[in-house]
Amino acid sequence: MTKKLLIGTAAAVVTALALLLGAVLAANPAAAPPAARSAPAALAERSFGGFSPGNTGAEILRLSDESRRTESSTAYALLGLAYQQRARETSDSSDYARSERALRQALARDSANLYALGGLGSLALSRHRFGEALVLGRRARRLSASTARTYGVIGDALLELGRYKQAFRAYDRMAALKPSLSAYARVSHARELLGDRRGAVAAMQLAVGAAGSQPEPLAWSRVQLGKLHFSRGRVRAAKREYRAALDAFPGYVYALDGLARAEAAQGRLGRAVELQREAVERNPLPELVGLLGDLYRLAGRRAAAGEQYALVGAIEQLQRANGVRTDLETALFNVDHGLRLRDSLASARRAHSERPSIEADDVLAWALARNGHCGEALRYSKRALRLSTGDAPKLFHRGMIERCLGRHATARAWFARALDVNPHFSLIWAPAARRYAS
């Protein structure tokens, strides 16, 4: 792999970007200003980026009326995208079915509608149907090989299918066609997967710049930058980014969640609970609800923790009922919390067959180890670490597998590596890593 954008060494990361993107670094790297785009194009770009156009509910009402009145393919496509945005904002996965109906109505009126094809691709990604997303992304690319966002759909699908070289090429192409927040963020994630932390931070800083003064895009970019810092144990740097995100977009749930994690890492458990409770009240995403349960558990509030864990299960059931494949996320949550371990192993195997990424390798390895299948777990753990990502949970899981195999000295080395990367990688398991490493 020799792509300039993704795989330049950490020391040469800015030079590599300059070689590929030319004058982008010398000028504002944001996408074209709103005045240069039509209103539908601007709305679609925000929706594809996952950002609210303002009042999403009002936008849905407007587009519903427009699509019925005009029978416009574009109106139906934008309506489908708006339903996806509302699903992101409210965690109501029933909006996915409404999105699909609108997008298919758009295609029935114009089979070459790129907004509709891209919307179906992003919907398939949201539902964790990555093979379907890849087919849709490639179909869109055949219609327009110069549309940058299409390569984002293709790259995201390939990434989850474990086809990393092809995914990285798609991200490079996306960034070359249109340097933007979305492109920079994907480049950052790719570099993170390859273990290039400095390069990942540099690309995400470009994403922050590309967001300009737009509140939600700026907050999202700041949160991603904070996560990069937190994943390497840099808690104070992470908190600065999360606070900057809240300054840009007050009440932003992902910033509240990040700040709660950082406060917990610094021992401020009461403050962490307050922040996480506010995040959950705003948007009850399973990962946010699960963390609130962990915080309650750490505070000794077992009954309250159990209520949150039960809520995670209920939310995931609703997601499955609306076409979202949750096997991987359900398996990881249950294995981490010692719940339904045999069923979780079956879920992990199903997920791995559908999305054989390093994440699925790791979850399957962890589920196997927790069920006592340690030799098989080792094989998948090696695959999970094949990109040299340096992810603390994966390193910890490897330590637990080695411990399960009776290799205690080797296990201690893996625990030490995990803690060296991020001593706060898990509210539940970081304390265990510290015990086992000594």
- Flag whether pLDDT at 10 surpasses 50: no
- Is residue 379 in a domain? yes
- Is residue 422 in a domain? yes
- Could you tell me the pLDDT band of residue 77, with boundaries at 50, 70 and 90? very high
CB atoms within 10 A of CB 344: 25
- Flag whether pLDDT at 52 surpasses 90: no
Output the six-digit token pair for 431: 């304390």
- Flag whether pLDDT at 26 surpasses 80: no
- Flag whether pLDDT at 53 surpasses 90: no
- pLDDT score of 69: 95
Please state the length of the chain.
438
Gap between the Cα atoms of 194 and 206, Å rounded: 19
Residues near 214 by Cβ (< 8 Å), separated by ≥ 6?
Answer: 51
CB atoms within 10 A of CB 19: 12
CB atoms within 10 A of CB 69: 9
Output the six-digit token pair for 400: 């637990």
- Flag whether pLDDT at 433 surpasses 60: yes
- pLDDT score of 55: 83
- pLDDT score of 92: 87
Gap between the Cα atoms of 252 and 51, Å rounded: 12
Q: Which of 401, 408, 413 is nearest to 364 (CA)?
A: 401
Gap between the Cα atoms of 227 and 266, Å rounded: 16
Gap between the Cα atoms of 302 and 58, Å rounded: 41
- Is residue 336 in a domain? yes
- Is residue 52 in a domain? no
- Is residue 35 in a domain? no
Mean pLDDT of 337-358: 97
- Flag whether pLDDT at 36 surpasses 80: no
- pLDDT score of 2: 38
Gap between the Cα atoms of 66 and 98, Å rounded: 16
- The residue to which tokens 């010398």 are assigned: 26
168-171: long-range contacts, CB 8 A cutoff, minimum separation 24: 168/1, 168/3, 168/6, 168/7, 169/3, 171/5, 171/6
Gap between the Cα atoms of 227 and 255, Å rounded: 10
- Flag whether pLDDT at 320 surpasses 80: yes
- Could you tell me the pLDDT band of residue 41, with boundaries at 50, 70 and 90? low
Whole-prediction pTM value? Answer: 0.88
223-254 burial, b at 16+ Cβ within 10 Å, e below that, comes to: bbbbbbbbbbbbbebbbbbbbbbbebbeebbb
Gap between the Cα atoms of 16 and 19, Å rounded: 5
For residue 375, give its domain range: 330-438
pLDDT digits (tens, 9 = 90+) for 215-260: 999 999 999 999 999 999 999 999 999 999 999 999 999 999 999 9
Mean pLDDT of 74-91: 91
- Is residue 408 in a domain? yes
pLDDT > 70 fraction of the chain, expressed in percent and rounded? 88
Output the six-digit token pair for 340: 């339904």
What does the mean pLDDT of the chain come to? Answer: 90
- Flag whether pLDDT at 29 surpasses 90: no
DSSP 10: G
- pLDDT score of 31: 39
Gap between the Cα atoms of 278 and 65, Å rounded: 34
pLDDT digits (tens, 9 = 90+) for 146-202: 999 999 999 999 999 999 999 999 999 999 999 999 999 999 999 999 999 999 999
- Is residue 360 in a domain? yes
Q: Which of 128, 101, 122, 94 is nearest to 321 (CA)?
A: 94
> Is the Cβ–Cβ distance between 361 and 394 less than 8 Å?
no
- pLDDT score of 18: 30
Mean pLDDT of 374-381: 98
- Is residue 176 in a domain? no
pLDDT digits (tens, 9 = 90+) for 249-293: 999 999 999 999 999 999 999 999 999 999 999 999 999 999 999
Domain count for the chain: 1
> Is the Cβ–Cβ distance between 130 and 354 less than 8 Å?
yes
- pLDDT score of 15: 28
Measure the CA dihedral 283/284/290/296, to 10°.
Answer: 80
Separation in Å, CA 383 to CA 169, 171, 348, 369, 406: 21, 23, 15, 15, 21
CATH number for position 436: 1.25.40.10
- Could you tell me the pLDDT band of residue 43, with boundaries at 50, 70 and 90? low
- pLDDT score of 56: 87
- pLDDT score of 207: 97
